[in-house]
Structure 1
Amino acid sequence: MPPTDASADAGTAPVTDTGTTSPTAPESRIGPAADAGADSEDTLDLHLPDEFVALFAEDTGADGSRSLGATATAGQAGASATSAATVERAGAGTGTTTATCASEAPPASTTPNPDDLLGGVAAWGPLSTPAGALHLVPVRIERDLPIISRWMNDPAVTAFWGLAGPDNAIEEHLRSQLAGDGRSVPCMGLLEGTPMSYWEIYRADLDPLARHYPARPHDTGVHLLIGGMGDRGRGLGGTLLRAVADLALDKRLACARVVAEPDIRNTPSVAAFLTAGFRFAAEIDLPAKRAALMIRDRSLRHLL
């Protein structure tokens, strides 16, 4: 089942303002001025820190003109820049934030996210399989949408992917991943340089799927669509699934399992996962289907 909710809780901590607070202020005294004859109005005898006075000090020019001190001017400029800025994202693992001017904020990305939560799928590189060299290349909408749309509108695919329709519907599905936080990476599968499959490599532990099975940290999920009719029914599914699952385990050392959830009715798909060394773990009820939970364990990869 393709991921259905790209905005699920990411488990990020909120950024908290930890500004310092001053100790109890010195007591203020209100009373007559020292020279009552000069000014009979009451005055506030408030002692300000030297730094505070300097901040608002006025500089007198050679021509007698007066302007705000350089420090105050810089402070005003900084305030203006801050008011025009928007927080872009939290710094990875640092609790910091990056600011960018709202007028220069980039549009939603349609290119691969180099900071994906899977360790950089784009850099995994080609791998050798019995069927030839397979390369997972993150999707670029302007290049790949037409062929993916054609595959998704194949009647044999529609029943299980549910993404048949005009290009803009499929484009929205792709953009939701490309513009997300990197928990799911859509890829084209090139076999010996020829596009022949569509993949989604995703963090199963951060996906809505995790609500339906006992997920473990860093579980990696995989969806596969063999595109052309000529590539189906040849055993390619099992061959490629095994290669990609093992590649994920090799590249993601924190991951102990690769998981999948094909529709229980899709017998050829379930068979392909079994051939690829996955074990059938359970039947699970998902919002759009009853699925077979398939798992390839790192500890069993050389036995299955």
Structure 2
Amino acid sequence: MPPTDASANAGTAPVADTGTTSPTARESRIGPAADAGADSEDTLDLHLPDEFVALFAEDTGAHGSRSLGATATATATAGPASASATSAATVEGAGTSTATCASEASPASTTPNPNDLLGDVADWGPISTPAGPLHLVPVRIERDLPIISRWMNDPAVTAFWGLAGPENAIEEHLRSQLIGDGRSVPCMGLLEGTPMSYWEIYRADLDPLARHYPARPHDTGVHLLIGGMSDRGRGLGGTLLRAVADLALDKRPACARVVAEPDIRNTPSVAAFLTAGFRFSAEIDLPVKRAALMIRDRSLRHLL
């Protein structure tokens, strides 16, 4: 899960968290599980998919504990806590991570296919939005670290992403995802060819965030940070979140929903997700925040 939240369309007040806290803070952000009764549709399956069990066991055996969103997150979507930047600087999706769920059960095989955790995000290609074509391009450390570091050290972003600090700390957060098994992919968002946002796309159902909400197979999480001051306060958060959520649903047929968990206090961020067609499902307690569980359902995408 990435940072908690920042904003993207509400001027200078932090909004949605598509980010997360710090690489080490990601796991610590997760708190008690949400009340399953908060959303009668989101009932918790007591039978965990074999794919989830195998991946979780692999992580725990190798490292002793799992990092949120498969990143060292200070990630999404969470963010960042699970899951996201509309007014001040980021749209928070999961406080550190966000997620989507699959409409099909996971394969019976206990051996996960590392190439099928998210599909190849690099090949998702650009998508048209009312603000212009948006293209998610996987982060390249040598090219993108300076600008991401500058964005993360913006006071409006710091409070929600928790990644402010020297470049080497932010680099560690990015590398932990890039050298992982593919369940979390950090991306630069290019709007009409210009870098203006940072994203984390991750498998929420394979993330520690899944312990705190009724996760479903193939749930996909998203975190968003609107970087430039000139791009904040213009309503871009909701516009871009809708486009990316729909892109994930189009490129991942097994995914039935995209989820995020912005800080419940981050009104601009929550508003951005609502504008993007997400619905408020429940409030969940994470270690560093009380989050709003936001869900964009495949079945409702053309209605909301």
Deviation of residue 266 (structure 1)?
Answer: 1.2
CA separation in 2, counterparts of 1:83 and 1:62?
A: 39
Q: Provide Cα deviations, 1:129-187, integer angstroms capped at 9, x if missing partner.
A: 00000000000000000000000000000000000000001000000000110000000
TM-score computed with the length of structure 1 as normaliser: 0.64
Deviation of residue 287 (structure 1)?
Answer: 2.1
1:19 and 2:19 equivalent?
yes
Structure number with larger C-alpha Rg: 1
CA separation in 2, counterparts of 1:38 and 1:229?
A: 36
SS at match of 2:36: coil
Deviation of residue 74 (structure 1)?
Answer: 53
The higher-RCO structure (CA 8 Å, 6+ apart) is: 2
Percent identity over the alignment is 93
Contact 2:149 2:164 in 1 (8 A): yes
Contact 1:28 1:46 in 2 (8 A): no
Q: Provide Cα deviations, 1:179-220, integer angstroms capped at 9, x if missing partner.
A: 110000000000000000000000000011100000000000
Alpha-carbon spacing, 1:31–1:167, altered in 2? closer, same or farther (3 Å): closer
Contact 2:3 2:78 in 1 (8 A): no
Deviation of residue 9 (structure 1)?
Answer: 36
Alpha-carbon spacing, 1:239–1:85, altered in 2? closer, same or farther (3 Å): closer
Contact 1:153 1:165 in 2 (8 A): yes
Alpha-carbon spacing, 1:192–1:286, altered in 2? closer, same or farther (3 Å): same
Alpha-carbon spacing, 1:254–1:230, altered in 2? closer, same or farther (3 Å): same
Alpha-carbon spacing, 1:300–1:172, altered in 2? closer, same or farther (3 Å): same
Deviation of residue 29 (structure 1)?
Answer: 69
TM-score computed with the length of structure 2 as normaliser: 0.64
The farther-off stretch of 131-140 and 65-74 is 65-74
Contact 2:190 2:197 in 1 (8 A): yes
Equivalent in the alignment of 1:131:
131
Deviation of residue 263 (structure 1)?
Answer: 1.1
Residue pairs, 1:217-228, within 5 angstroms: 217-228=217-228
1:148 and 2:152 equivalent?
no
Alpha-carbon spacing, 1:109–1:157, altered in 2? closer, same or farther (3 Å): farther
Q: Which has the higher strand share?
A: 1
Deviation of residue 265 (structure 1)?
Answer: 1.4
Q: Structure 2: 5+ residue runs without aligned partners?
A: none
CA separation in 1, counterparts of 2:129 and 2:145?
A: 26
SS at match of 1:107: coil
Contact 1:33 1:43 in 2 (8 A): no
